[in-house]
């Protein structure tokens, strides 16, 4: 753990629990540096003997405002998507459950990272959204992951409207496991009650068994939507207008092409 890193990571409970904390409040942007830090921490601890869980949370009032819009511009978006999608696959293939504790805003790429975990524990003030459509683009990873969490009409609602839902609605539709005043405590309680007493190797095999087909399908679909985003969406006038307008803090002017 270094002060320069956008992520803090440490082990607790004699190595049974890995803590990961997004550490660039208040936005905690899922930018290239954050993605690399998360990926690096998971890789460093992937072979830890006795690891039975991960708790991912964030400093500050918000879990994450999402990805860096600047990095979604044509010159950088290919690199961003490739690295983010690789992180998501690594999270899905990690040999211990990843519990996610969310406070405040959990938006865009931040929600995509949360969706790659096992269970989401939310504070009552938590807000969840995939607002990319409002910028004239779509959320590639969420397009793949959301239908595994909620029913397909609800996934389309969130992806096409870009609307934000609160913690209780998120729990009602199956996106969130538990709503609790202190989501980190709720996640730690779950870990203590249900995971720490298990065999780490057996948990790893159980995760592999439960997710095998899902991970294969996610890999295929991520590659598919990545190409749709980069080769087709980003060739349109409106996608570039939406991103540019957001950065210029003005209303986009759609031409529907």
Each domain of the chain, given as residue ranges in start order, spans: 7-182
What's the chain's average pLDDT? 95
Answer yes or no: is pLDDT of 2 > 80: no
In the chain, pLDDT over 70 holds for what percent of residues?
99
* 173-200 per-position pLDDT tens digit: 999 999 999 999 999 999 999 999 999 9
* 64-121 per-position pLDDT tens digit: 999 888 877 877 889 999 999 999 999 999 999 999 999 999 999 999 999 999 999 9
Question: What is the CATH architecture of 7-182?
Answer: Alpha-Beta Complex (3.90)
**Residues 52-71: what's their mean pLDDT?**
94
**Residues 1-30: what's their mean pLDDT?**
91
Question: What pLDDT score was predicted for residue 50?
Answer: 97
Q: How many CB atoms lie within 10 A of CB 144?
A: 24
């Amino acid at each position: 753990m270094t002060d320069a890193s956008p992520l803090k990571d440490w082990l607790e409970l004699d190595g049974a629990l890995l803590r990961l904390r997004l550490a660039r409040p208040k936005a905690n942007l899922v930018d290239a540096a954050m993605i690399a830090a998360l990926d690096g921490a998971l890789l460093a601890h992937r072979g830890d003997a006795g690891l039975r869980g991960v708790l991912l949370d964030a400093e500050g009032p918000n879990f994450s405002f999402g990805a860096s819009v600047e990095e979604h511009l044509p010159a950088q978006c290919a690199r961003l998507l490739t690295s983010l999608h690789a992180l998501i696959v690594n999270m899905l293939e990690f040999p211990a459950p990843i519990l996610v504790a969310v406070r405040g805003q959990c938006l865009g790429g931040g929600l995509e990272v949360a969706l790659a975990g096992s269970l989401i524990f939310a504070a009552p003030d938590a807000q969840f959204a995939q607002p990319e459509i409002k910028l004239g683009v779509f959320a590639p990873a969420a397009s793949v992951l959301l239908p595994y969490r909620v029913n397909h009409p609800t996934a389309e609602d969130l992806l096409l409207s870009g609307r934000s839902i609160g913690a209780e609605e998120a729990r009602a539709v199956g996106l969130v496991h538990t709503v609790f005043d202190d989501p980190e405590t709720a996640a730690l309680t779950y870990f203590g009650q249900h995971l720490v007493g298990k065999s780490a190797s057996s948990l790893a095999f159980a995760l592999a068994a439960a997710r095998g087909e899902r991970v294969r399908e996610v890999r295929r679909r991520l590659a598919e939507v990545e190409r749709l985003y980069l080769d087709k969406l980003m060739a349109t006038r409106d996608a570039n207008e939406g991103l540019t307008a957001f950065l210029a803090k003005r209303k986009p002017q759609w031409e529907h092409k």
